[in-house]
Structure 1
Amino acid sequence: MSFNRPTKVPRTPTLPQGETVATYGTYLEAQRAVELLAEKSFPVPMLTIVGADLRMVERVTGKLSYPRVASGGFLTGAWFGLFVGLVLTLFSTEEGTSPFLPSIIIGGAFGLLFSVLTYAFARGRRDFTSSSQIVASSYAVLCHPEKAHQARHLLQGIGGVNAGWPPAATAGGVPTPTQPPAVPTQPLGLTKPRLPEDGGSAPAPGPEAPGAPETPTQPPAPPQS
């Protein structure tokens, strides 16, 4: 059995490196994909789960009141008193009396008093209990490029596989052309006339260009007598 060397986690916030091999809608699906790769002896330290479009969700669980605050404070203090009573029992040399019950009662009383006073001073500002979570709209599984193809092949059975990186980046919303446009070989508007020997007709004589010198003509010869 071989153990993979753990990947060193950067101390400063750093963007993850690697190719996207699969994308899922929930974290449980992404976790299942990583577990599947681990079961197939894939080097999982090359993987990273990245959540996109993060949101902080606070779910309200109930309304606060004095009886609820008092009961919660007493239970919290009682647990602390139980721990103190256990420590005193371990280090106590006297026999016959157990410090458990007095510790639980005293701890619960202090917890109840502290919770009620805190709620009384904060009355009207937060009269409810809640639970907060950071959730994402989608979760991507990234892998180092040298093992990305193998990870995609192993994840074909559960779906969500991504073919690879998106198309090449665009500048200003206009895709970068892959080939330059064709350049015409002849100037626009000029065509080569076809000669009679090529099977075409001779070009019709047109008007002379303005400003061209006129060809002088010879006068007719006088009649001979």
Structure 2
Amino acid sequence: MTLRPLGATTARYSNDWYILPCDVPTGTFAAIQRLAVTDVFGARRWITPAGAGAEHDWQQWSMYVHGDAPGLLLPPGTPKVADGPALEEVQLARDENANMVWGIEQTVRMPTGDPRPGAEAAAETLAFRRRLRPPTRLDDSRAALAYRVMSLVPEHWIPFIPVHVPGDNRSVQLQRAPLTGTRLTAAYNRTRTRTGQVIVWLTVRRDTGRGGRSSGLAFDLLTDTTPQ
């Protein structure tokens, strides 16, 4: 296609660059076929692309090129997107004390589809399990100290462990990652196109988390059994 600037076009000079503004419709692939420049002496010159030289030319240079078709792709966009509340949110955090990675469910989706704080859902799940299987009571002859194999971890903290290397039953693989953590969020989005059509879609985003977290996980504990 041949692009023609709307109205009079004024070239702007900045740091050895000349910028010629030109309006391009959205959803098109724009390529400049001809560009003529007339200097102050009245001489007219045809300007060719910088990357049109031979492949072995050391001065060959290009910008905004898509493969073998030089040009600029301007995909269709939306003027504004409305983000809905998070339906699911999981934070992947590294626990330095326990030397583990935890998937913390900040927001979970209920069977009705509504979001719910992960801590509240975890507390209800734990209370339901205790009603089904109440904890056993010990008699008064117990010792002053009790041994515990490990401490409890919040119900909505999901542990992540190393996995074996594919094809190897002994070696495990670890992936180096930043210590800032990762947050995964699922939410609905809504927008209106330039033609007035309403579009709704579900997105899953990966953002930077809040850093390391401590679960309080510990092993081989001695707890005081004296009534407080």
TM category, shorter:
under 0.3
TM-score between both structures, scaled by the size of structure 2: 0.19
Task: Indicate the structure with greater helix content.
Answer: 1
Task: Indicate the structure with greater strand content.
Answer: 2
Say which structure, 1 or 2, has more relative contact order (CA 8 Å, 6+ apart).
Answer: 1
